[in-house]
Amino acid sequence: MSQATLHAPTVRTTCPYCAVQCTFDLHLERGLPVKVTPTKDCPVAHGTVCKKGLAALNDLRHPERLTTPLLRKGGELTPVGWDEALAYVRDALGNLPPERIGVFGSGSLTNEKTYLLGKFARVALRTPHIDYNGRYCMASASTALNRTVGYDRGLGFPADDLIRSDLLLLVGANVAETLPPLMQYLKGIKDRGGTIYAIDPRATTTSKVAGRHLAPRPGTDGILALGLLHLMKQWGRIRPTAPAHGMAQVLAHADDYHPARVAHDCGLTEEDIFTLGRAYAEARTPLILTGRGPEQHTQGTDTVQAWLNLAFLTGHFGKVGGGYAPLTGQGNGQGGREHGQKNDQLPGARSLRDPRHRAEIAALWDVPAEALPQPGHSAQELLNACGNPAEGGLDALIVIGSNPVVSAAGAGQVTQNLKALKHLIVIDFLPSETAQLATLVLPGSMWCEEDGTTTNLEGRVQRRRRAVTPPGAAREDWRILCDLAAALGRPHGFEYPDFRALQDEFFRATRGGKADYSGLSADRLDRATAQWPVKSATGPDTPYAYAPPFFTPDGLATLHVPQLRAPTLAPRALHLTTGRLGNQYQSGTQTRRNPALKAEQTVQIHPDTAREHGLGAGDLVTLRTAHGQATAPVALTPGLRRDTVFISFHWPESANLLTDPHALDPHSRMPGFKATPVTLHPAHLSLPLPTRPTLSPVS
């Protein structure tokens, strides 16, 4: 980037938060951003930016901003220079066997950093163990789409097409708080006479706007989808989108899911099932959008599969304004799962297990194909292995842009595992709870201090532009990764003269892959955004992704029979579910520090349930599961199911100490965040209200 661009009065870039990836102009005075202005030509947000985006500049000025390397000496993190920090990396990792080193990435990284991180792990470290926090976000939906139609591109159509739907089913997707700019599309659907159902155990802001709310028991969304497919078959509404494998088996399986069974398992009435079924049967362009609600389960892939099967078998999958699609959550969650930081993936959404794919990337990287490691641990398995010989025994972990001490399942165990590591190296720009455990912290770059590209929830690639330089001794993340490779004595392939050289290599690396960005360049993206695949510099982009022939060996989809278990609940038993708040984001490293984004951690409980347990609003309650316990104030929530307890996951020492780190989805390796058996225990009412939840592991 030229110095003229760095000192321009305004710089257009992308928001650091959700996967809408709103564009806005940063207004600079004396080289520093002072104001954010939404851009009306943003192809998704159309001139809107949520409160988090408008408040993002506060993070740049935060007094806790990391500006120098910190090395643990005598138990304390102590400022050091880069030479000493890199010498530590050389001595710490240089002689470790590669299989004893792990890398944990992030869905917030730009595409170029995602690509470079995967290359760094496999070429410089030579480790098989790399994964990222997106495993906790989109893994189940991505897995279901990949095994059905061969690829996953989020929405698969322009967001503007959302208003063409005459029936929208939002399944576990609280878009008002997680993807606020999408609310304009819900209004558009209703203005055109369409119907919206929010399917969620909680009555959320989204459900109030939708106007229709169905509250199934946590963990039963897939059973509801099977019940709808049962009715569509009974009513003669089966009109497959295209020929596909497995259709007969899927339809036969749905015979068992009659309305009485589904109502019982989901905690609904039979009339609820019939009413929703009639709405779906009569709609011309019904659209199903899933969020984390149905996906963050140990049977999340099969739950998504049930909804995907319903859309496909009724002829709506891939239809303009209709069908099925997942809603990506993290800022670059889509691009982050395409270019190599997943344990089984190479750039362009290639498979690390495919010999042809390995050969293509090995040739680009100038290494033998056999030198590329096979897939290693997935995210939760990687964290379980840290400092733990019984789980695979990692001695060192590099974490970039992620805070697994808060975001991972079984946070208490994860914290102990990270403390047991010989070497924990964290690259970040604020001192997250994970960074506070590190043996070495390297100060990285924030969103407006780096160039790159991000890919939003509809597969749209757009530029992130550098407006300012990192403060103090902080460095751009891509340079840090190259510095680490040099410190390890493996600089070959990491000696880029400038960022543009890295970016051009990234675009080339995707050529021929499912997620082909090879026709893109910074210059092209300056003219217009583009939805992948984009296969040539002069060719078109691909607004519509889900149309036959599919990206499978024979061009046909393969439907799978969902293997779903109904939850077993004793009378008055409770399930804990977790989720987000509108003013917070992910593990809260930024938003909890932002004075413009006030929020309080509470335990949401239905008033009747609270009364049964002797609890009132503001009382402290201790939540206990088989994995840990946490204490926080009660918030009485009439719109919540009586058998459900809700807590957000933005605070340390709360939600994820209560979740299970070992039970994982067999397909996606997703932990079960959304339905954990829990008990409530009133805390001593004379205790002072804590400033944040207190927590202690269950021994």
Q: For residue range 28-85, list pLDDT tens digits in order.
A: 998 889 999 999 989 999 999 999 989 989 888 789 999 999 999 999 999 999 999 9
Report pLDDT for 371: 96
- Topology of domain 139-326, per CATH? Dimethylsulfoxide Reductase; domain 2 (3.40.228)
- Topology of domain 3-60, per CATH? N-terminal domain of TfIIb (2.20.25)
Report pLDDT for 6: 53
CA separation, residue 197 to residues 209, 440, 619 (Å):
10, 48, 33
Cα-Cα-Cα-Cα dihedral sign, residues 503, 505, 511, 513: negative
**Residue 387, phi-psi category: left (phi > 0), alpha (psi -120 to 50), beta (remainder):** left
Which whole number is the average pLDDT over 271-289? 98
Q: In terms of C-beta distances under 8 Å and separation of at least 24 residues, what long-range contacts does 363-371 make, across chains too?
A: 364/505, 364/508, 364/509, 365/119, 365/123, 365/493, 366/492, 366/493, 367/123, 367/493, 371/126
Whether 688 shows a pLDDT value over 50: the answer reads no
For the sheet with 530-531, list strands across it. 452-455, 460-464, 530-531
Going by pLDDT thresholds of 50, 70 and 90, the confidence category of residue 685 is very low
Angle, CA 16 vertex, CA 14 and CA 19 arms, to 5°? 80
Going by pLDDT thresholds of 50, 70 and 90, the confidence category of residue 14 is very high
Report pLDDT for 399: 98
User: Which helix (H) or strand (E) covers residue 289, if one does?
Assistant: strand 286-290
Whether 130 shows a pLDDT value over 90: the answer reads yes
Whether 687 shows a pLDDT value over 80: the answer reads no
Whether 343 shows a pLDDT value over 70: the answer reads yes
Outline which parts of the chain fall under CATH 2.40.40.20.
Answer: 574-696
For the sheet with 396-400, list strands across it. 76-79, 70-73, 440-443, 423-428, 396-400, 101-105, 130-132
DSSP helix, strand, coil percent of the chain (3-state; round to 5): 35, 20, 45
Outline which parts of the chain fall under CATH 2.20.25.90.
Answer: 3-60
Whether 3 shows a pLDDT value over 90: the answer reads no
Q: How far apart are CA 492 and CA 183, in angstroms?
A: 48
Instruction: State pTM to two decimals.
Output: 0.94
Which whole number is the average pLDDT over 334-354? 95
Report pLDDT for 8: 67
Q: Is 490 exposed, middle or buried (0-12, 13-18, 19+ CB in 10 A)?
A: middle
- Per residue in 213-235, pLDDT tens? 999 999 999 999 999 999 999 99
Which whole number is the average pLDDT over 126-153? 95
Q: How far apart are CA 388 and CA 390, in angstroms?
A: 5
Q: Determine the length of the chain.
A: 699
Going by pLDDT thresholds of 50, 70 and 90, the confidence category of residue 686 is very low
How many CB atoms are closer than 10 A to CB 67?
13
- Topology of domain 574-696, per CATH? Barwin-like endoglucanases (2.40.40)
Cα-Cα-Cα-Cα dihedral sign, residues 163, 169, 172, 177: positive
Report pLDDT for 7: 55
| Chain position carrying tokens 């395409």 | 338
Q: How far apart are CA 175 and CA 182, in angstroms?
A: 7
Report pLDDT for 599: 87
Whether 694 shows a pLDDT value over 60: the answer reads no
The correct answer on CATH 3.40.50.2300 for the domain covering 70-135+349-515 is no
Which whole number is the average pLDDT over 643-661? 93
Report pLDDT for 527: 94
Whether 558 shows a pLDDT value over 70: the answer reads yes
Q: How far apart are CA 109 and CA 106, in angstroms?
A: 6
Going by pLDDT thresholds of 50, 70 and 90, the confidence category of residue 695 is very low
- Per residue in 307-323, pLDDT tens? 999 999 999 999 888 89
Report pLDDT for 208: 94
| Bridge partners (DSSP) listed for residue 249 | none
